[in-house]
């Protein structure tokens, strides 16, 4: 028997209100961070809410509506932020700022526009289009349920598809470089906006929490090519 969506929402809101909100992971997918409050409501088109115990399955705006001001210390968002356009992305940053306590830290991992362009030009240090990028992207589109990225008969995967898929595939809406994401974060009130490395942080709570490493075909280069930033609420 299917449970109506509004009943599911009520159950998840009750779970949310009873949860420890010290550390919140937005858009967790099937990779929840142990010891964190993990949430993912899917997108209603390509991604379904992950059916795992402990994950709050709510639309992100509904989730944020039920989180009080100054109630969390750490926020993580991994391969999630690019699924919102620039305007909604800024609105979300404002909401994250609102729910963070003073000296709270936001960590975002997303696609790096600058690195994608370097890959397109085949000028990304240590990364080969033929040996690294092409096998990884072919595997990616093979497993994607998004028809946007599928090759038509007679086509091969070319570099123009890399850039267009970065902007549009799997529900992507806006791809940032450091300059643009720093501007949005500072406009919302964040300070000390800085690049960080995959798996590393000055804050022990944020160390080793990054999951999206590219898997077998990308693990040797993807972690160096993502955009990872941390910002503080003062």
Say how many CA atoms lie within 13 Å of 55 toward its Cβ: 23
Q: Domain boundary residue among 170, 189, 206?
A: 170
Residue 1 has pLDDT above 80, yes or no: no
CA angle 7, 70, 9 (to 5 degrees): 5
Whether residues 17 and 88 share a domain: the answer is: yes
DSSP per residue over 166-220, as a string?
Answer: HHHGGG----B-HHHHHHHHHHTT-EEEEE--TT--SSGGGTT----S-HHHHTT
Q: How confident is the model at residue 72 (pLDDT cuts 50, 70, 90)?
A: very high
Q: Which long-range contacts (CB under 8 A, 24 or more apart) does 126-134 make?
A: 126/221, 126/224, 127/221, 127/225, 129/159, 132/217, 132/218, 132/220, 132/221, 133/162
Contact between residue 162 and residue 138 where contact means Cβ atoms under 8 Å apart: no
Query: What's the whole-number mean pLDDT along residues 74-96?
Result: 98
Residue 3 has pLDDT above 80, yes or no: no
Whether residues 29 and 103 share a domain: the answer is: yes
What predicted TM-score, i.e. pTM, was given to this entire model?
A: 0.95
Residues of the domain holding 152: 114-170
Contact between residue 16 and residue 64 where contact means Cβ atoms under 8 Å apart: no
Query: Average model confidence (pLDDT) for the chain?
Result: 96
Residue-level pLDDT at 131: 96
What is the tens place of the pLDDT at every residue in 154-213?
A: 999 999 999 999 999 999 999 999 999 999 999 999 999 999 999 999 999 999 999 999
Residue 87 has pLDDT above 70, yes or no: yes
Task: Give the count of domains, the chain.
Answer: 2
**Residue 229 structure tokens:** 């930033």
SS3 156: coil
Whether residues 10 and 95 share a domain: the answer is: yes
Share of the chain above pLDDT 90, in %: 97
Beta strands (DSSP E) in the chain are 23-26, 37-39, 72-78, 100-111, 191-195, 226-232
Q: Domain boundary residue among 123, 147, 170?
A: 170
Instruction: Based on DSSP, count helices (H) and strands (E) in the chain, helices before strands.
Output: 8, 6
What is the tens place of the pLDDT at every residue in 94-146?
A: 999 999 999 999 999 999 999 999 999 999 999 999 999 999 999 999 999 99
What is the tens place of the pLDDT at every residue in 200-222?
A: 999 999 999 999 999 999 999 99
């Amino acid at each position: 028997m299917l449970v109506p969506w509004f009943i599911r929402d009520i159950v998840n809101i009750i779970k949310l209100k009873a949860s420890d909100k010290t550390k919140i992971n937005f858009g967790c997918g099937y990779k929840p961070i142990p010891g964190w409050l993990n949430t993912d409501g899917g997108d209603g088109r390509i991604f379904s809410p992950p059916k795992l115990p402990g994950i709050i399955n709510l639309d992100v705006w509904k989730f944020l509506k039920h989180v009080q001001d100054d109630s969390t210390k750490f926020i993580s968002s991994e391969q999630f932020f690019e699924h919102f356009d620039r305007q909604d992305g800024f609105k979300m940053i404002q909401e994250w700022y609102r729910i963070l306590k003073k000296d709270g830290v936001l960590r975002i991992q997303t696609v790096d526009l600058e690195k994608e362009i370097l890959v397109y030009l085949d000028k990304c240090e240590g990364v080969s289009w033929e040996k690294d990028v092409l096998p990884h992207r072919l595997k990616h589109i093979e497993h994607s349920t998004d028809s946007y990225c599928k090759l038509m008969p007679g086509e091969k995967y070319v570099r123009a598809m890399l850039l267009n898929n970065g902007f549009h595939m799997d529900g992507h809406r806006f791809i940032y470089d450091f300059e643009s994401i720093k501007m949005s974060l500072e406009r919302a009130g964040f300070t000390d906006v800085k690049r960080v490395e995959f798996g590393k942080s000055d804050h022990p709570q944020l160390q080793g929490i990054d999951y999206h490493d590219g898997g077998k075909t990308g693990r040797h280069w993807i972690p160096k090519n993502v955009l990872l930033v941390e910002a503080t609420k003062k």
